[in-house]
Chains A and B, each alone.
Chain A
């Protein structure tokens, strides 16, 4: 079938949220790890910050990122009429 403009917009929005979340993922993973030594000069809840992020902070952010994606997309589905109906 031919995709409508609305469908294309849905996909664009999907790409945008994917890109945003991926950027955050990149920062809390690779940028954080790269500067771990520098971050360790700061302290958070009694931990050196770099250590804390790699051991807990980034992990918690990953859970939140996935949760936000699921919530956002499941709403977007309904908004653009591509959801799977009540049952899902």
Chain B
């Protein structure tokens, strides 16, 4: 025993030394690039340096960790210390959406966006209390493994495989999409090429070394992403509050933002712009109601305008604009689309949403619905967190139950560092926009705004609606992602920090994609092939098959991503609801209720998953559903709030109606409940 102790301790010390060197090395790299920038290194080359240096680094770790051993490949040899598993889980968990999108969501939706912040952290309480220590004691390779052993038979395992692939695949597509966006934006290569460059980064690591390589890469990625996230926010906080701890300092900034909101809500210039939007939306609405006659009229008027301009030999761009006006109303469908879009301007006719105000709405009923949906999102994100296989899998990799418990604490601590910074960033950015961008003149916009509005209008567009030459809040349209991407420039930092942020976003997306792809490939190779098709397969064969599948799944995911499917954010949310409905009840009852049996699990998982999918299809427009089908006005993203209780109750009822599980299963349950049961003869005892 003592030999093992000293070996584990030595390993921990060694890791600490390596990652300390690595962190220092990374900071030196940043410093060198910063100096090079001062000496005239172009932005493009800074972008390349970050992209290739970090991907080469991940590849290097992958090559060093290559393995053909099953325990190493599937669970990193079960010797990842709690602290490092915490970092790896943090990187595994925080996706492109968390890193780039979260602060933007908070900027745009204020308090209501906090549902994600709470949901994506509070879920770890459930992981810690209900799952991590027991799964570690069970000590196999995958989540379907647990379901298969606990409930017996291949049906439960198959449902587990299906659900694991369903939620992981939708999620992985969103990550690869994030990789494409980042590489395209910062390195200037084409989106589709960026997708495959990123894919190479993912594959060279997970392909060679499986979980082992992914773990050590994720630790490295966590360090990059947290440095990248905190640096510009700390700077911004210094700039506006003189306090380098943004999380403490932004209370006073929030007060100023709130005061400014009240001023802007009644500012005459703002009212004027909003009035223009309202008038345009009303006019479009009237024309929509008068279809089809209004289209004929509008087309005639537009054609006349073109003819008039041509007759008066007006400047070319005016004529082109007028011709576009004709195209917009060329037939009924086009006119309807154009006017529906114009009618949407009504959304910009309202006053700014109070940032700190929970559940705003026009009346009590609307506010109650907003509150219910806030709770719904918190619920689904939490229980989804505690059911996503790529996260739960990480707790198989610690050396002991004790360290699995500690490891959840570290995981949440490392995740917390980013998630409690995001609301601060959102408020600081809002302060800047409300105080400095609003009220500036179009002739001299703040540099960051001018720059981003030129680069990407979908992230920032400012139009002088009332032609007064001054920016009004209502004239700004802002895409959420810009908050994180533009922070270094808002804070007045050199471009090298923007490159750092891009590298951080890339690390977040790649690390999550790694974990997800591994989950899918393992579900197929370990659960489907080894456990169900060929139980006699040799270790080498299993690992080889897993690697091939990884490649295939990655290529399919990249292909799907390159088609740019819409509604990615919805799909990510959907993955949480699906995971919560399918997995959570069966996993938790499997540990806490000995009486839960095979038929309960089969029917319960199918019922939970089924009702969740049914609700989404019925209520989400993408699948042809309509909002009128909603129950209790619950948004489709929160379908898990229905699916999970249904799954839970079904498992209980069906289990009670059918036969009690046999002695062997009950012994397995006892086995997972005690970290070390002396005299335990269960076959699982290792």
A in complex with B:
yes
Q: Which residues of A contact B (CB under 8 A)?
A: 1, 3, 7, 10-11, 14, 18, 21-22, 25, 29-30, 33-34, 36-37, 40, 45-48, 50-52, 54-56, 58-60, 62-63, 65-67, 69-70, 73-74, 77, 81-88
A30 touches B378 (CB 8 A): yes
B118 touches A82 (CB 8 A): no
Task: State the majority secondary structure of interface residues on B.
Answer: helix
Known contacts A46-B255, A70-B409, A82-B675; A59 and B117 CB within 8 A of each other: yes
Return B242 CB to nearest CB of chain A, in Å: 14
A48, A55, A67: the one within 8 Å of B423 (CB): A55
B118 touches A29 (CB 8 A): yes
Task: State the majority secondary structure of interface residues on A.
Answer: helix
Residue among A10, A22, A56, A83 with most chain B CB within 10 A: A56
A84 touches B358 (CB 8 A): no
Return A39 CB to nearest CB of chain B, in Å: 9
B670 touches A3 (CB 8 A): yes
Residue of B nearest to A64 (CB): B409
Interface string of B394-428 (1 = CB under 8 A from A): 00000111110110110011001001100100000
A33 to B115, CA, bound (A): 9
B409 touches A66 (CB 8 A): yes
B128 touches A87 (CB 8 A): no
Known contacts A59-B416, A83-B676; A51 and B356 CB within 8 A of each other: yes
Return A26 CB to nearest CB of chain B, in Å: 10
A29, A58, A74, A87: the one within 8 Å of B405 (CB): A74
B358 touches A63 (CB 8 A): no
Residue numbers in A under 8 Å from B356 (CB-CB)? 40, 47-48, 51
B401 touches A58 (CB 8 A): no
B357 interfacial contact with A, CB 8 Å: yes
A34 to B251, CA, bound (A): 22
B412 touches A66 (CB 8 A): yes
A43 to B379, CA, bound (A): 26
B1 touches A25 (CB 8 A): no
Interface string of B1-37 (1 = CB under 8 A from A): 1101100100000000000000000000000000000
B53 interfacial contact with A, CB 8 Å: no
B111 touches A62 (CB 8 A): no
B251 touches A29 (CB 8 A): no
Residue numbers in B under 8 Å from A83 (CB-CB)? 402, 675-676
Known contacts A33-B378, A46-B254, A73-B405; A84 and B111 CB within 8 A of each other: no
B346 interfacial contact with A, CB 8 Å: no
B1 touches A54 (CB 8 A): no
A7, A37, A62, A82: the one within 8 Å of B121 (CB): A62
Known contacts A62-B125, A66-B412, A81-B678; A88 and B371 CB within 8 A of each other: no
Residue among A45, A55, A60, A86 with most chain B CB within 10 A: A55
Contacts A/B (CB < 8 Å), 13 sampled: A7-B677, A11-B673, A25-B125, A33-B378, A40-B356, A51-B254, A54-B114, A66-B125, A70-B405, A70-B408, A70-B409, A74-B405, A81-B678
Return A49 CB to nearest CB of chain B, in Å: 10
A69 touches B114 (CB 8 A): no
A47 to B247, CA, bound (A): 11
Residue numbers in B under 8 Å from A55 (CB-CB)? 114, 117, 420, 423
Residue numbers in B under 8 Å from A82 (CB-CB)? 674-678
Known contacts A1-B681, A30-B375, A73-B133; A84 and B676 CB within 8 A of each other: yes
Residue numbers in A under 8 Å from B2 (CB-CB)? 86
Known contacts A3-B670, A30-B375, A82-B677; A58 and B122 CB within 8 A of each other: yes
B41 interfacial contact with A, CB 8 Å: no
